[in-house]
Structure 1
């Protein structure tokens, strides 16, 4: 009997190992792309019902302050080029081919991290025919410094498949390819976001002759920003910058006060409040620890906002950084999702295969990767919560079960998560003070 048991055990082990080998082989050959669902992905991370098209649009914002050439307080002007990538629900022919994105690693002007081209596949179709018949809410996405319009394709493609028009911005002077002095990012980030919302409304209007003509419901807009993108979307959403930032900016630009238009209490800034914006998602927003915001400025944020942070963020800070912004935005209905032990990279795509090559600067890998988390899992969780949050505010979806969960994810499985998978997170929720 013991001998038979041993034989059975050995056979079972062999079957199990063979099964593991087959599973491993399948996993290696599977065409797993950015944004695809992992086995433990939460419910709302799944792609939506729409096929997705994508187009590149080159814009020009005329007569902008040329802050990089400002001298002694005199600000010349220039026509500012801005490239955007636009994803949209599409009608796809049988012979259509999915897109391949062209991207670079490195940072322009950094001899230790020279620009290195690479490509990665998406699940969208270049310049495909748009799906007509309905208007779709607008989502505008702003990357970090440095970054690009392709930094969060796992999210942009996913949202478009759920019935949104999604525009991601290449912020001039702030991308991998054209990184320049920081004052351009400080000044232009909110300006670019406002400009792109307006341009997307024009592209989506009847008579535009663009692919998305007649499809954009700009009156239902969400803005999403990561790091310096978070700095931008919070300002566009109503959080005026502090007088301290204005003084710092004036000092670093030789006397230019161009940023004052975005500071709290400025009459022109107050006039720029945009009722089209119904929701904000701020991934690791930068600036609180550097005096960018104060209590008065944060009171101006009244748009519902979903913050995402790592508890060990060493770029934007956590307790005195992102969490302090969340706590100070007392007039907004707001959430704060915290990845325990994560640092700053709670928003990007996973590292490309090229970033794993030996000899590269480790920052090519850490431009994307989180030390304590699988980036693909973070991506799936972000898809889930962003879908729930903007769906509530832009589509009037009843997503309370996914948003109103207990704070500590370790205590009980969060709604929408598979058993034992919602660990290591915290979700706080605060309602407006008045």
Structure 2
């Protein structure tokens, strides 16, 4: 574990203090990830419900271990998945509503980027009593990038919980900062993890369950949110079967393996795996199209309402031949494409951690989170606004259409829900089946 001299601590305290002044927060109320900037759009504000948060661990038994072979075959292994769950909660007046999250910078498999623990704050109460007064809440499953963690989008997960959703973020085994392993595991397991977690949360939410989720979650009304490789998996779980080219490339990566075939469009087992409880998808910068992961047939398999979010200069997933090509190709889905003009790939995560600014820390840790042409807090607020509108329409049947039915740019005036001059640099596309 890396330690830092005392002057690093003073550097952090100075930076935090400066950040508080710049954000012009009321006395005694430091700026927390997900809080509103003065130019935040209308639906970015938190909802009226208190937010609780808990951590649980599940084990997906007898899964294919694509990173190993035995006698020419992949062995099976039990796959642990740590989940962070945010939910509407009853918060006593005297209970703190700040939570401390623990994460790491770096890569477990890269000596040049050692793991560096850090903490950051959120607006939730650890292990708070669930609020069952409104009945069961829609379920939102969140999948991080490669590498990433279940805490990568806390600005959004907390915000949605405050608006009456149960939000479950997955630590995808072999794909987090702490346990990063071969890419084939991520290619195979993302959609499988999503579907397994859906089944398990439904089980834990049953009224006969002894879980804190009992009676709290309506898994029959579920959305998937994925970022980068999380978007890759979410689209597949929702119906976009992988192409023959994708399974061929997967086999070339690991000695002719056919393990990914089960997630291809031509597989009978893929079609039977599609789950009618999933009602909508949010895909931030989904990876794969530039690698021929999908063809026209596979993209046509996605029929669910989908919100794509992209940077026009994405150099990881690609834009014209990447994310926008997916948007154009899912011809059977009611879909939207929100584009941050001149943004690159980091249109989804929390802002860069303060620890990434410490002297001696690789600049890559800052750039893993940061956008070169956009303020990350600003992106967070805009994402809160549009995801609220999208899920409000498709999971809660709220009439938020005016926030999504927009001209492609704001050339004729600010978009609905935005302050004057504050929708510049954004584009919105919408296409129906």
Q: State the shift of 1:333 in Å.
A: 0.3
Cα 1:288–1:23 shift into 2, 3 Å: closer
3-state SS, counterpart of residue 320 of structure 2: helix
**Matching of residues 190-269 of structure 1 within 5 Å:** 190-269=191-270
Cα contact 2:23–2:37 (8 A) shared by 1: no
Counterparts of 1:30 and 1:76, CA distance in 2: 52
What does residue 334 of structure 1 align with? 335
The aligned length equals 412
Q: State the shift of 1:358 in Å.
A: 2.5
Name the stretch that deviates more: 152-161 or 63-72: 63-72
What does residue 46 of structure 1 align with? 45
Counterparts of 1:214 and 1:386, CA distance in 2: 25
Counterparts of 1:360 and 1:80, CA distance in 2: 32
Compute the TM-score of the two structures, normalised by the length of structure 2: 0.93
3-state SS, counterpart of residue 239 of structure 1: coil
What does residue 318 of structure 2 align with? 317
**Moved beyond 3 Å, runs of 4+:** 22-30
3-state SS, counterpart of residue 123 of structure 2: strand
Deviations 1:392-428 (A, max 9, x none): 0000010111000110134320000011111001000
What does residue 394 of structure 1 align with? 395
Cα contact 1:73–1:254 (8 A) shared by 2: no
**Residue segments in structure 1 that go unaligned for 5+ positions in a row:** 1-21
3-state SS, counterpart of residue 67 of structure 1: coil
Q: Who wins on radius of gyration, i.e. which is larger?
A: 1
Counterparts of 1:262 and 1:213, CA distance in 2: 31
Counterparts of 1:140 and 1:248, CA distance in 2: 28
Cα contact 1:72–1:255 (8 A) shared by 2: no
Cα 1:72–1:420 shift into 2, 3 Å: farther
3-state SS, counterpart of residue 189 of structure 2: helix
3-state SS, counterpart of residue 203 of structure 2: helix
Q: State the shift of 1:259 in Å.
A: 0.7
What does residue 372 of structure 1 align with? 373
Cα 1:24–1:284 shift into 2, 3 Å: closer
Cα 1:24–1:207 shift into 2, 3 Å: closer
What does residue 168 of structure 1 align with? 169
What does residue 273 of structure 2 align with? 272
Cα 1:230–1:423 shift into 2, 3 Å: same
What does residue 110 of structure 1 align with? 110
Counterparts of 1:229 and 1:204, CA distance in 2: 24
Q: State the shift of 1:25 in Å.
A: 7.2
Cα contact 1:72–1:254 (8 A) shared by 2: no
What does residue 7 of structure 2 align with? none
3-state SS, counterpart of residue 271 of structure 2: helix
Cα 1:366–1:79 shift into 2, 3 Å: same
Do residues 59 (structure 1) and 58 (structure 2) align?
yes
**Matching of residues 84-163 of structure 1 within 5 Å:** 84-97=83-96, 98-133=98-133, 134-163=135-164
Cα contact 1:197–1:218 (8 A) shared by 2: yes
Compute the TM-score of the two structures, normalised by the length of structure 1: 0.93
**Residue segments in structure 2 that go unaligned for 5+ positions in a row:** 1-20
Cα contact 2:23–2:31 (8 A) shared by 1: no
Q: State the shift of 1:73 in Å.
A: 4.4
Name the stretch that deviates more: 271-280 or 147-156: 271-280
Cα contact 1:71–1:253 (8 A) shared by 2: no
Counterparts of 1:251 and 1:357, CA distance in 2: 41
Cα contact 1:41–1:377 (8 A) shared by 2: yes
Deviations 1:243-269 (A, max 9, x none): 111111112122221110000121110
Deviations 1:77-131 (A, max 9, x none): 0111000000000011233222100010011021111000000011001111000
Cα contact 1:123–1:157 (8 A) shared by 2: yes
Cα contact 2:311–2:341 (8 A) shared by 1: yes
Cα contact 1:139–1:164 (8 A) shared by 2: yes
3-state SS, counterpart of residue 206 of structure 2: coil
Deviations 1:48-69 (A, max 9, x none): 0100000001000011001111
Counterparts of 1:373 and 1:402, CA distance in 2: 22
CA RMSD of aligned residues (A): 1.5
Q: State the shift of 1:212 in Å.
A: 1.7
Do residues 304 (structure 1) and 305 (structure 2) align?
yes
What does residue 7 of structure 1 align with? none
Counterparts of 2:299 and 2:142, CA distance in 1: 21
What does residue 6 of structure 2 align with? none
Cα 1:431–1:357 shift into 2, 3 Å: same
3-state SS, counterpart of residue 395 of structure 1: coil
Counterparts of 1:192 and 1:131, CA distance in 2: 27
